[in-house]
Amino acid sequence: MEKRQWLALALLAVAVLLVIVLSMRSNTALTMAEHKMHSHSWCIEQSLVGQPYLDIWTNLEKIVASCEEWGALNVSLFVPLETSYGTKYHLLPEDPEDAFDNCMVLSIGVGGHIEAELELKKLQPKCRFIGVDPDAERNEQLYTSIGQFYPYAVVGVKDGDDAMVDGRHAQRCRVRIKPET
């Protein structure tokens, strides 16, 4: 084959590949609710990048409010799930027929109670539930009634600092220290 024929064949292959990629992308278009959630999450993520841990906790409420104004997500649409330990919030789909087949609920720090998760399970029965807590004795049997349980702790520390973990659960903790930027 001549050089021109190879070039034409290569361009044709690139064009076919591009058409395939674009058609696949259009098949995975986000619903409006997914787009709103992704926009809101992106805004929060960008606001947190590079911030010291203490600043994040001090300013988190302002960041969420700012992202609500910037994005299309209306956090007043979150459903409150009351528990004896406080209120947890969940955003239900805009269309009740949308069952969120790929919904996942991650409970970081089960803390011996799953009241909110049980209420959420009634509202979103197709959601997959995952609980994380270092105290398996107290939480594993409780949480496995609704989903998967992992006996780990989730902590954030500065480079060189120690994470405070109850001695009974230290063997179940994996500490990953990521220096602040």
pLDDT tens, residue by residue, 99-154: 556 677 888 888 888 998 998 888 888 888 988 888 888 999 999 999 999 887 65
Residues 35 and 97 in one domain: no
| Those residues with Cβ within 8 angstroms of residue 74's Cβ, 6 or more apart along the chain or in another chain | 68
How far is it, in rounded angstroms, from Cα 135 to Cα 53?
Answer: 25
Question: What pLDDT is stored for residue 33 in this prediction?
Answer: 61
Residues 59 and 131 in one domain: no
Q: Please list the helix, strand and coil fractions of the chain in percent, rounded to the nearest 5, in that order.
A: 50, 15, 40
Residues 57 and 72 in one domain: yes
What domain range is 108 assigned to? 78-180
Residue 55: pLDDT band (50, 70, 90) is confident
Residues 143 and 106 in one domain: yes
Average pLDDT over residues 175-179: 51
Residues 124 and 156 in one domain: yes
Domains in the chain: how many in total?
2
pLDDT tens, residue by residue, 7-51: 555 555 555 555 555 554 444 555 666 666 677 778 888 888 888
Q: Which three-class secondary structure state does DSSP give residue 115?
A: helix
Whole-model pTM: value is: 0.53
Residues 105 and 65 in one domain: no
Is a pLDDT exceeding 90 seen at residue 65? Answer: no
